[in-house]
Chains A and B, each alone.
Chain A
């Protein structure tokens, strides 16, 4: 089956990102396809490479980046939600006159249309959080 995933909550405060990650990992292990993972609301904070969790805790952002590299996942952060919350890639930082970017490897910033398209293209859209 072809799944798309929507993550609506940030890391650590809420279980949504953990549950989505475990779902994606399990689905891939069973041979299913993940069309896209879309991050919205505070979920965009899953895409900042500046998180430094305690060493005895899971690294949620790094975990997503590694899974993306391993399975060529499409991790998309909503641009409007990201701008509100200070998540930038290089071109966004430049465009908005900011002195740094903070997007983690494997994530890309794009529009809400990518969420709708993910819903259209997948057999199931599974929502985590909110």
Chain B
């Protein structure tokens, strides 16, 4: 989309999600960046650490909070060619969760592997 990018040189963008989906707006506004950013045809990955893993949890019901349940949007990321979702294994385990509890298919990786993934990025946006 940008002139610099017209030659097909994509940067590696990683969005790091560390916070629970509700309680603060960080998770929702992070997802908004991912959706807008998808138009730029960069090499995009998402990482979920700490309470950020709760963003992907199945069966979210936000009626009582009177805020929008945005977890179905993760299921639409594939349409935006955003397919690399990494979830930290230790974060899942600490919360008694597994990949089967999540709304989309993800790659569960160790904290050590996550560090390697981060080290290989050009741009890291942490929310």
Contacts and interface: CB of A to CB of B under 8 A. Distances in A.
Contact of A116 (B42, B126, B127): B42
Contacts of A6: 125
Interface in B11-49: 11, 13, 25-26, 29, 32-33, 36-37, 39-40, 42
Contacts of B11: 119-120
Task: Determine which residue in B5, B13, B127 has the highest number of CB atoms from chain A within 10 A of its CB, and name it.
Answer: B127
Interface residues of B, number: 22
A91 B25 CA distance: 26
A81 B32 CA distance: 10
A22 interface: no
Contacts of A113: 1, 36-37, 39-40
Nearest to A124: B123
Interface of A is mostly: helix
B36 A120 contact: no
Given A6-B125, A113-B36, A127-B126, A119 B26 contact: no
Given A117-B40, A119-B11, A80 B126 contact: no
A93 interface: no
Contacts of A121: 2, 4
Interface of A: 6, 8, 40-41, 80-81, 111-113, 115-117, 119-121, 125, 127, 130
